[in-house]
Structure 1
Amino acid sequence: MSAISKILHWLIFLAFLGLVCTAIAANLLFSKEAIMSTFGFSLPAIGVEIPPADQLFVARIERRLTWAIHFWIGTVFFTFALFRFILFLRGKRLHRFLNLFTFTLIALIFASGLPLFLRIYVEIPAEVQQFARSAHYLLIWLFSLFVVLHIAWVLSLENGRKPGIISCMFQFRGNLLLLLAVVTLMRSPVVHAADWAKDPDYLRAVAYMEGKIGVIKGSKSIKNCPYAKCDEVADSVNRNVKMITVKTRNYPRMVAHFKKSVEKGNPLAAGKLAKFLIGRIDYRSEVPDPTLIRIGERDTGMRYDDYVKLARKSLALAAKHGDCYSMYKLAEFQRLGQLGFAKAPDVAETLYQRVVQRCDPKSFFVIMSRSRLKR
């Protein structure tokens, strides 16, 4: 494919992109409804009152500029397509057919849009305007379908079939690497931090953790209670026995929602869940303390082995995404061989270095990580 053909191809693409952007702007950002909605607060602010019918007229004038830009970009689009059509008058039969089909479609789109632009300057019957508008919309959707099929064809050619004249301007490996890079960035915690914070399971788990929902209320009797709160309710039989209301959080529900969020890959949920679970695991002892096991099973609604596995999984996910607590604790476990991790001093050192590089220099985790690295 010649350099001129490649240039024309991308100029046509840029013009098409401009048409799409101006069409979206005219129908959404600068639509009649959007402009009229601004009159609701802007006109009273300056003490001006305009009837709705006149507001509609003004709105149409305002949005006219957007459609004018759309029309002139369309003119450029048609001109580039005409040049490319002339350039490909000779060639293989398939290429000539596709060239003719594409140009005919673009020419019809331009022709159907022309009356819609000229109606301000030339008197055009309403029936002609309506027909042109309907044809314009139909042809636009047809051309959009053609663009999608064109892209699919290019990808198909670059996926191992015989390269054609269109695919010559692409290098699939380079495009694939670029696509992978974009996907990687989109999946990074920086990009998706706001999205993860909106995860329904994460939000519900945090609500359970903070006691905003699912609080379980109960009564507890305390003999000779030293707290002023115990004076609120006294036992009618024995005045020395006080009854107080005890509120406990529904941790099993919280863990269940955090677990669902972690399974989706949510690093925010992983960080909070890891910290919660590790606080209930006797990882320093060779034989876990039975009391801690009971507390852990009560608070998680899971067997000990299961919530230890969940803690390891959550810790690894949160550490991978830069959570300072998780990186430091994982480094400690790798250094000491705790929580089922094998001793790996090199891995621990790398994690300590990440903590020092990424976390607040004044934080406990950085101070401790530096002390570990000095040894």
Structure 2
Amino acid sequence: MLNTKMIGNKIAEARKKTNISQAQLSERLYISPQAVGKWERGESMPDITTFNRLAEILGVDLNYFSEHIQTQATEPTSPDPLIKQSDELLFKKPEKRPSWDMSLGNWVDADFSGLKNLHEKFSSSNMQRCKFIGSNLSGLLLRTNNVDSCDFSNSDISRSQIQTSNLANNIFRNCLLKETGFSKSHIKDCDFSGSNLTGADFKKSNYVESCDFSESDITHCHIQGSSLANSIFKNCSLKETEVSGSHVNGCDFTDADFTGVGFKSGAFVNNTIANAVWNRSSFIGMQIDDVHFEGTLEDCYFENCTFKRVTFQNSRLVNTFFKNNSLFKSRGFKGLQFTDCQADRITYEFLKSGKADVIGIKLLAS
């Protein structure tokens, strides 16, 4: 059992050596000066998370607080090498750590930066303005959490699960989120720029709104039954990502790479796709409204889609098929319009047989 009086004395001793007051220490730990006073009098003891932060502030190792290990100032030296070797072996033994669980908690303005192996320890918690910068959170489970204005920059959150949670105004910049799953969650105004989301899943009614994924790697992802609205995907790689049963609306995909991306049974509406790369991309059973395609589309596929106010301008269409599509016309707007485009023979004939207006298309030289 830990000796609270002994630990209190060690806290006081280390604090005085670092020339900081109880008030200054409490401010850095986000607690009251009275709590520090109780520790030093042996009336209470910090929890395991606070011990980590306390050791960092006081410049000591966690072992410093153990009653079985003497402090550096009082540690005796022994000329006997056998005794020294025995001490070293003892020191290398794995220390027993108390089990701790911070789920169902209310965490505000706490600094958990650098923590490891959290797993389920924050489930069902409310977290506001907390810091997890540079932490190893791989395998983390957040279930029914409210996470607001927290900073996870440069953290490893790979192979984690975010379920039925609300994430708002958070920073996930330059994070590793490989194979992380998001389900039934509302994600709003979050910054994922520069992050690696390779193999991530957005499934089961996620709502992603006004988020920034600029320059992120979103390859081999699965986006199913979700809504992506008013978000930024500039200069992203979405290679081989599958988007099914999802509504993508008002997003900016400037300079994005859609190589091998498959859109199926959803909507792609009012998105900006300037300078995007389209290669082996497919749209099947999609509603496509208010979209302006440009550049080269090669080996692409549009089948059973509904087009409304869709334009292809200065586009080069190669081996790109349009099959069984509906060209919606209303109030003088053409469902699908081509301006200053070029197409190979097979693409041209597919469009012509589908009753598209091909006046704005010239045949590519064979």
TM more than 0.5? no
User: So what's the TM-score if we normalise by structure 2?
Assistant: 0.26
Indicate the structure with greater strand content. Answer: 2
- Which one has the largest radius of gyration? 1
Q: TM-score, normalised by structure 1?
A: 0.26
Q: Which has the higher contact order (CA 8 A, sep 6+)?
A: 1
